[in-house]
Amino acid sequence: MRNRVYLDWNATAPLRAEARRAMLAAWDLVGNPSSVHAEGREARRLVEEARATLAGAVGALPRNVVFTSAGTEANALALSPGLRRSSGGAVVERLLVSAVEHASVLAGGRFAADKIGLIPVMRAGVVDLDHLRSLLGDGPPALVSVMAANNETGALQPVAEVAQIVHEAGGLLHVDAIQALGKIPFEINAMGADLATFSAHKVGGPKGVGALVVAEGVTGLEPLLRGGGQELNRRAGTENVAGIAGFGAAVKVALQTLSEDAEQMATLRIRLENGIRAIAGATIFSEDVRRLPNTVLFTAPGLKAETAVIGFDLEGIAVSSGSACSSGKVQPSHVLSAMGYDPAVAQGAVRLSLGWSTEPDDINRALEAWRKLGNTLLRD
């Protein structure tokens, strides 16, 4: 395994050393963070330090950060009927989601199925703003969910412009920023988001920890889990202290090296894309719009994603056929289908995603493997 190349960072990033150390220290604590004695207060300190770190990273107030078990739970918590921007604002009664959202958003949270509508996207994977305006004008106030960056194509959505359109129509905006954190700058107020969701393991923290961040003044959020008063009465259950501490540590170091890491990943991504295009007329999806610096989703005529992923794996390269939550399912990517691609094309899409420790030799090995696979899999 030491000689393998890992190019599936959008599925999960390796645990950062800083996160590991923070978790080890937390595991040595015995206190429950809800207890008032010294042991409990020490556990509480770790939770609140991580809360402040994440809040500072995304331009929010610590009191508006809610830790959850994962990004999926954070999305489900955010998609809640009854939200409003202030005590005098209109309550959202329906949900509009872009057609390229993660499955946890497409599921609609706590909105009834007949209260959920889809916002189409353009061929490049960017939301159709004119269609969004039309949908918002044809009904009661809506909660709109548009992701900051797509997990498959890497395409960046015009979040600030979407926010302006949504707010002018009296609605609220939820942004799934799980793929954005640590790869591009993201601040909830600058983007105009009313709610934003994050996941620790995408940024080098542990799996099984997520967060919902709520903009100041947004009210009406009802907890998914009821019981105790943890997480400011927004999410019952004893906090995962070690996981939360690891999340905070990962966010801290990710923000410190964000510019340097992004520049390195973008340089390597360009090299990777140039090499991929040289084989059998490959197509890079969403190549004409702004994308994450680390993500390449491509196909070639006749390519079968499942076969290609296995072929890369046998060459020691870990890649994906799409989002990790869809791995193993022999069906077209819903993202590419929403972008208007034929199912046969969508079934041949392979994703390579880079990270902060990806090196030039990793790209060389990936391209060597692709040349071998292309000559084998794409022969007439």
> Is 325 an annotated catalytic residue?
yes
Helix (H) or strand (E) holding 173: strand 172-176
* 189, 325, 343, 360: the active-site residue: 325
Any idea what the Cα angle at residue 376 is, between residues 374 and 380, rounded to 5°?
A: 95
Give the helix ranges, DSSP H, for the chain. Answer: 17-27, 38-57, 71-78, 103-106, 129-136, 159-168, 188-191, 230-233, 241-256, 258-277, 305-314, 334-338, 343-346, 360-377
Furthest-apart CA atoms within the chain: distance in Å: 72
Q: Tell me the CB-side half-sphere exposure of residue 80, using CA atoms within 13 A.
A: 23
Beta-sheet pairing, 350-353 with 295-299: antiparallel
Question: What is the spatial distance between Cα 274 and Cα 282, in angstroms, rounded to a whole number?
Answer: 10
The single-letter DSSP state of residue 175 is E
Closest residue by Cα to residue 334 from 98, 3, 53, 176: 98
**Angstrom distance (rounded) from CA 272 to CA 269:** 5
3-state secondary structure of 140: coil
3-state secondary structure of 63: helix
Residues β-bridged to residue 149: 156
Tokens of 256: 């410190």
Residue 7: DSSP 8-state: -
DSSP string, 327-379: TT--S--HHHHHTT--HHHHTT-EEEE--TT--HHHHHHHHHHHHHHHHHHT-
Q: Which residues of 12-42 are buried (b: 16+ CB within 10 A; e: fewer)?
A: bbebbebbbebbeebeebebebeeeeeebeb
Catalytic machinery residues? 325
